[in-house]
């Protein structure tokens, strides 16, 4: 029998394995990759994967030997989508932002300590950045969407996140470590929108603005990406205003929808 602490640990580990498999996309994940990413022992991973498969949450492709999301994950996802997927409500606003700015525009959602890109609409400018695309995940504070959300969380939430996020942020470089992030959080709060000056890929800039739920929490973000020459000091304030106007419109729409 698991102790209460052991039971919580088992749930956390199972959730970690599910996230690793989900991040792998349609092709799925090999057992060795899951072991490496999870940091768990191979026997533990094998035991938990087998249990998740027995419950229908994961499946094992006999041809590729990869682990993939199972049928129960699909059924749960369809139910959860009715509450959490706002893509249909946001698509015309994302499209409007792309048309007005001529840059690639995106909608991302917060999922725990990460952001996940849900929508992309390309603007008319022919040169585009491909850092952000539908389905890509970043830790909070990495990419402009995640920084916009993180900056508008409460001070206690920010402190808690930064106190434990070092391992997730370290691979993204010194500019994303807690000390540097605090400086960028302050700048984002002052401006109202976030700026990523080519910190993920050199020459690829991004800007983001938070979108709020009914409780006033930053749950989503609109963002723009493009080449550095399109994000000059003269143009950034105009892009920021466009982001904030569209983010405010989407916040109002989603809050009305939730209220209804």
CA-CA distance, 72 to 51, in Å (whole number)?
13
For helices 178-191 and 155-164, what crossing angle results, to 10°? Answer: 150
pLDDT digits (tens, 9 = 90+) for 75-131: 777 666 655 568 888 999 999 999 999 999 999 999 889 998 999 999 888 766 666
Q: Please say whether the structural domain 85-259 has been given the CATH code 3.40.50.720.
A: no
The secondary structure of residue 232, as a DSSP letter, is -
Q: Which two tokens stand for residue 190?
A: 């002052």
pLDDT digits (tens, 9 = 90+) for 158-186: 999 999 888 889 899 999 999 999 999 99
- DSSP run (H or E) holding 68: strand 67-69
70-74 mean pLDDT: 85
Q: What is the pLDDT of residue 25?
A: 74
Flag the least confident range among 73-82, 145-154, 180-189. 73-82
- DSSP run (H or E) holding 196: strand 194-196
- Of the pLDDT bands very low, low, confident and very high (cuts 50, 70, 90), residue 259 is very low
The class level of CATH for 4-78 reads: mainly alpha
245-260 mean pLDDT: 82
Q: What is the pLDDT of residue 9?
A: 86
- Return the domain boundaries, the chain: 4-78, 85-259
CA-CA distance, 207 to 191, in Å (whole number)?
11
Asked if 122 and 128 touch (Cβ cutoff 8 Å), the reply is: yes
């Amino acid at each position: 029998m698991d102790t209460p602490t052991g039971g919580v640990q088992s749930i956390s580990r199972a959730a970690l394995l599910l996230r690793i498999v989900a991040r792998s996309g349609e092709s799925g994940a090999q057992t060795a990759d899951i072991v490496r990413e999870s940091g768990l022992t191979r026997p533990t991973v094998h035991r938990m994967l087998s249990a998740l498969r027995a419950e229908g949450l994961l499946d094992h492709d006999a041809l590729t030997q990869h682990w993939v999301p199972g049928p129960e994950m699909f059924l749960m996802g369809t139910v959860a989508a009715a509450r959490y997927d706002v893509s249909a409500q946001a698509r015309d606003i994302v499209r409007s932002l792309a048309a007005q700015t001529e840059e690639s525009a995106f909608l991302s959602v917060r999922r725990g300590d990460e952001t996940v890109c849900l929508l992309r609409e390309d603007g008319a400018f022919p040169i585009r950045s491909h850092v952000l695309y539908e389905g890509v995940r970043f830790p909070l504070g990495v990419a402009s969407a995640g920084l916009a959300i993180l900056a508008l969380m409460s001070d206690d939430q920010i402190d808690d996140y930064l106190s434990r996020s070092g391992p997730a942020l370290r691979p993204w470089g010194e500019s994303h470590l807690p000390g540097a992030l605090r400086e960028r959080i302050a700048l984002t709060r002052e401006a109202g929108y976030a700026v990523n000056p080519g910190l993920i890929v050199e020459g690829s800039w991004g800007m983001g603005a938070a979108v709020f739920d009914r409780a006033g929490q930053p749950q989503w973000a609109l963002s723009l990406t493009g080449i550095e020459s399109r994000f000059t000091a003269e143009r950034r304030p105009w892009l920021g205003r466009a982001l904030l106007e569209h983010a405010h419109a989407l916040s109002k729409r989603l809050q009305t929808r939730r209220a209804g």
